[in-house]
Structure 1
Amino acid sequence: MSQPRPRPASATASPTRIDAAGRRARLGRRHLLAPGCRVPRAEDVAEAVVGLHATDAATVHLAACARLVEPEPGEVERALYDDHSLVRLLCMRRTLFAVGAAFAPVVASSTAGAIAAKERRDMTRWVTGGLADWDERRLAEVEARTLAALAARGQATAADLAVDVPDLRDTIVQSPGKPYEATVAVSSRILRVLAAEGKIRRGRPRGGWTSSSFRWTPGTPFAELPAPPPAEARAALARRWLAAYGPATVEDLKWWTGWTLTDTRRAVAATDAVEVTLEDGGPGLALPDDIAPVTAPAPWAALLPALDPTAMGWKSRDWYLDPGHVPRLFDRSGNIGPTVWWNGRIIGGWAQRPDGEIAWRLLSDEGGREAAAAVESEAARLAGWVRDIRVTPRFRTPLERELSR
């Protein structure tokens, strides 16, 4: 059976053309990167970009502060750990995101729930296949005891929980005999799955805001959330994504969410998206109220962190990234490093040196002296709020390594 297709912008006219300049104008405004578009609260940032990448703990703070009127890590910590208005979910593409608490049920139903189910299947096979004296019944008992121990403590690290539940200390040797052989405690996989299901959540880290050593706290299982049905939730997520990242392509949305092509097309059809023509002449999608021209903001520069949601927002990136710069800005797994932006295009990269200096390099002469001056100002702004914290991306890229020396 054929899948629903986006309808043209007009029944009698060709699809509206939205060129790269129009897409970059939207990016600068909607992703809060132009100085005049910055916002006061971390929740506003997450809403604008749908969710903040959170695989690297530092990215959440760096990405949010790049878009805040007053950049301050404490503002992000307030939202994450005091007000719980931002929550971390393993969701799109099995990536950890920080999303608004009100939108979390939609993300859970559309994406995270299915990922959690797969994580559980994989973990169950891993534990019961790797440990002779473990079966599904024992696994369930250990999980129940772990949740009870966490409830009693209120918050705890994995090591704390292993004191109460010694079974968590059991280990499995992965890839025995291989160069990458590793001994892994079952606690790491069990806690990951419980978090993926919403039963526990990452609380305040043991160290500063760059630390990935989290204390765990009790959570709310997805099954208890008042969430819309999956198909309805996928449509809601697609609509929110198009509002932030459109115009874009079906392939962009499929890649960003990790959905099947069928689910992506059905979600798009439910948004009433219209077909537009993009800068390369190919078809794109936009919401019906987003086909009029958008005025570009005043010239702007931005220093965005590794895995920033804007840099990782689309599968097709030629309209904001020169393909020739990819080898220096990405690692071998496709993770982007810290980037320098000018008016909606990536023109370079940056890193922090051991003495705290923010070093940057332009890979393009686009914008000339005006761009260089604006980048220098943004580097000073970044150094001003990072202060004595040292940030090393979890995924190192060639240019970042070079600049950080």
Structure 2
Amino acid sequence: MATIPRIGDAQRRARLGHRHLLAPAHRAATVEEVADAVVGLHATDAATVYLSACARLAEPSPAEVERGLYEDVTLVKLLSMRRTIFAVSTDTAPYVASSTARAIALKERATFVKHLHASLPEWDERRLVRTEREVLEALAARGEATTAELAQDVPALRETMVVSPGKPYEGRQSVGSRVLRLLASDGHVRRARPRGSWTSSLYTWASAPQLPDVPVREAKAEVARRWLASYGPSTEADLKWWTGWTVRDTRTALADAGACAVRLETGPGLALPDDLDDLDGVEPCGDWAALLPGLDPTAMGWRERDWYLSPDDVPFLFDRAGNIGPTVWWNGRIVGGWAQRADGEIVWRALTDVGRDAVAAIEAEAGRLSAWIGDVRVTPRFRTPLERELVR
């Protein structure tokens, strides 16, 4: 009977420095390399993509991120895993779209049509399809446009619908904002360059490149393989949480990806066949520190996080909805949080005693971040207790 390899928490932390491009010797030259290293960059908060990418670039530059997003369009934003927006490379995008994004888009459309018709009875699916066609024609003529600009060409977008009827937070929302979101979910339009700085959420829309169609089962196996290559060894529950798939789909994808059984400190785990070696607790890339933004993919890559995050620190670093804020890392562990004050100063606090070497390395990373971020001011979309306290 074959012995199941055992991979401890120290081994898992040792992999993060080079696989997630966080150790200085392993930083990347391009934003596409960064996105592929973590499968996809969280893009719900406009600033997160830039902060996550620049933390992993040998020469951090917002211009390099903009090149991938808006000039070469080698990064594609998809509403995908866990109904979260991810920026993925054009190499990864077809697998993410087929495995996850298209199913979510179908649910988004069904839900939207139901709520739209309930609020505006004159709207049915045929009118929605007609309006979408008019929007795409207007966008093709303009090249790029905001939702408000498109509403000048398609007046139906100006109508408003009730959202959350009967709730204390009931309100009205423009049909236009929902229609453009739907078209983006379907892969017809993409978020183009924002109006303002790279932290702005006032973006324009442009036509999206069509992605190759990949069979769903093949796509899920490839996503599972890429996730294990970046985040493994890990657990079935972690992948299920990260993707939002069912248990059945998760198990099938892992089997199709060739995942092998391993023993983690928390119990059964899985790894790719070429990732079973024990690193003997030796850090392969030296000591490293990192300042990662809220919702960074490394911080949000697993459901079970005790191996890199003390449970005692969770109340300081997460909001009530489970969104993580800006974090400070030392050799594969989250050891604190950071923030940017109104005057631009980068401040941080350790939640445990990290030692003199760690303090020096973290200070160096804070200086590196301050140097490239310049005069830009960043406030996380999801505020956490420690981040709020640091900016006072």
Q: Tell me the equivalent position of 2:13.
A: 24
SS of corresponding position for 1:110 = helix
2:264 to 254, 278, 287: 278
* 1:283-312 C-alpha deviation (Å, 9 max, x unpaired): 100000001134412111100000000000
Q: Which amino acid aligns with 2:363?
A: E
Identity of aligned residues (%): 64
Q: Tell me the equivalent position of 1:237.
A: 223
Question: Counterparts of 2:112 and 2:64 in 1: how far apart (Å)?
Answer: 35
Offset at 1:141?
Answer: 1.1
Q: Tell me the equivalent position of 2:75.
A: 86
Question: Counterparts of 1:136 and 1:237 in 2: how far apart (Å)?
Answer: 33
Q: Which amino acid aligns with 2:252?
A: R
Offset at 1:136?
Answer: 1.6
Question: Counterparts of 1:165 and 1:98 in 2: how far apart (Å)?
Answer: 29
Q: Tell me the equivalent position of 1:123.
A: 112
Q: Tell me the equivalent position of 2:62.
A: 73
- Is 1:256–2:276 an aligned residue pair? no
Offset at 1:393?
Answer: 0.5
Q: Tell me the equivalent position of 2:251.
A: 265
SS of corresponding position for 2:144 = coil
Q: Tell me the equivalent position of 2:97.
A: 108
Question: Counterparts of 1:306 and 1:72 in 2: how far apart (Å)?
Answer: 19
1:320 to 308, 319, 328: 308
**1:35-50 equivalent positions in 2, closer than 5 A:** 35-50=24-39
* 1:150-202 C-alpha deviation (Å, 9 max, x unpaired): 01101000000000001101001223464312210011111111000100000
- Is 1:392–2:368 an aligned residue pair? no
Question: Counterparts of 1:199 and 1:354 in 2: how far apart (Å)?
Answer: 38
Per mean C-alpha deviation after superposition, the further-off stretch among 175-184 and 245-254 is 175-184
* 1:377-401 C-alpha deviation (Å, 9 max, x unpaired): 1001000000100000001111111
SS of corresponding position for 2:224 = helix
Q: Which amino acid aligns with 1:310?
A: T
Number of residue equivalences: 389
- Is 1:301–2:293 an aligned residue pair? no
Question: Counterparts of 1:104 and 1:176 in 2: how far apart (Å)?
Answer: 36
> Normalising by structure 2, what TM-score?
0.98
Per mean C-alpha deviation after superposition, the further-off stretch among 68-77 and 134-143 is 134-143
Q: Tell me the equivalent position of 1:6.
A: none
Offset at 1:124?
Answer: 0.8
SS of corresponding position for 1:119 = helix
Q: Note the residue ranges of structure 1 that are not aligned, 5 or more in a row.
A: 1-11
SS of corresponding position for 1:66 = helix
Q: Which amino acid aligns with 2:391?
A: S
Question: Counterparts of 2:255 and 2:48 in 1: how far apart (Å)?
Answer: 33
Question: Counterparts of 2:65 and 2:224 in 1: how far apart (Å)?
Answer: 26
**1:182-221 equivalent positions in 2, closer than 5 A:** 182-221=171-210
Offset at 1:122?
Answer: 0.8
Question: Counterparts of 1:323 and 1:39 in 2: how far apart (Å)?
Answer: 31
Q: Which amino acid aligns with 1:269?
A: A
Question: Counterparts of 2:232 and 2:9 in 1: how far apart (Å)?
Answer: 12
Q: Note the residue ranges of structure 2 that are not aligned, 5 or more in a row.
A: none
- Is 1:343–2:331 an aligned residue pair? yes
Q: Tell me the equivalent position of 1:246.
A: 232
Q: Tell me the equivalent position of 1:9.
A: none
Q: Which amino acid aligns with 1:116?
A: A
Q: Which amino acid aligns with 2:273?
A: P
Q: Which amino acid aligns with 2:270?
A: L
Offset at 1:207?
Answer: 1.1
Q: Tell me the equivalent position of 1:401.
A: 388
SS of corresponding position for 1:76 = helix
Offset at 1:277?
Answer: 0.6
Q: Tell me the equivalent position of 1:356.
A: 344
Question: Counterparts of 1:170 and 1:210 in 2: how far apart (Å)?
Answer: 28
**1:282-293 equivalent positions in 2, closer than 5 A:** 282-293=267-278
* 1:5-31 C-alpha deviation (Å, 9 max, x unpaired): xxxxxxx23211111111011111100
Offset at 1:253?
Answer: 0.2
Question: Counterparts of 1:133 and 1:276 in 2: how far apart (Å)?
Answer: 57
Q: Tell me the equivalent position of 1:15.
A: 4
- Is 1:333–2:318 an aligned residue pair? no
Q: Which amino acid aligns with 1:384?
A: A
Q: Tell me the equivalent position of 1:372.
A: 359
* 1:242-279 C-alpha deviation (Å, 9 max, x unpaired): 00000000000000000000000000001111111112
Question: Counterparts of 1:175 and 1:288 in 2: how far apart (Å)?
Answer: 48
1:310 to 298, 306, 322: 298
